[in-house]
Amino acid sequence: MNQASTSPVKQLTSRGKRTRQQLLDAAELVFGEKGFEQSSIAEITQRAEVALGTFYVYFENKHAIFVELVEQLGERLRKTLSVAVKEKTTRLDKERAGFRAFFEFAGKHRNLYRIVRQAEFVDEPVYLNYYRRLAKAYARGLEHSMSSGELGRFDPEVIAYALMGVADFLGMRFVLWDKPEELDRVVDEVCEFVAHGLLSPARRGAK
What range defines the domain where residue 41 resides? Answer: 14-64
Assess if residue 126 is contained within a domain.
Answer: yes
Q: Is 104 found in the same domain as 74?
A: yes
Q: Is 99 found in the same domain as 124?
A: yes
pLDDT band at residue 205 under the 50/70/90 scheme: low
Mean pLDDT within 25-44: 98
CA 81, 82, 83, 86 dihedral sign is: positive
17-26, 91-100, 158-167, 172-181: least confidently modelled range: 172-181
CATH number at residue 113: 1.10.357.10
Q: Is 103 found in the same domain as 59?
A: no
Query: 199 pLDDT exceeds 90?
Result: no
Q: Is 38 found in the same domain as 91?
A: no
Angle at 137 between CA 156 and CA 64, to 5 degrees: 130
CA 130, 134, 135, 136 dihedral sign is: positive
Interval 110-155: pLDDT, tens:
999 999 999 999 999 999 999 999 999 999 999 999 999 999 999 9
Q: Is 87 found in the same domain as 50?
A: no
Q: Is 26 found in the same domain as 103?
A: no
Q: Is 97 found in the same domain as 75?
A: yes
Q: Is 182 found in the same domain as 80?
A: yes
Assess if residue 6 is contained within a domain.
Answer: no
Q: Is 37 found in the same domain as 133?
A: no
Assess if residue 154 is contained within a domain.
Answer: yes
Query: 2 pLDDT exceeds 70?
Result: no
- 160: closest CA among 61, 94, 63? 94
Mean pLDDT within 50-67: 97
Average pLDDT over all residues of the chain: 92
Mean pLDDT within 95-100: 97
- Number of domains the chain contains: 2
Last residue of a domain, one of 24, 39, 64: 64
CATH number at residue 19: 1.10.10.60
Rounded distance between C-alpha atoms, residue 30 and residue 33, angstroms: 5
Interval 160-176: pLDDT, tens:
999 999 999 999 999 99
Q: Is 178 found in the same domain as 80?
A: yes
Assess if residue 81 is contained within a domain.
Answer: yes
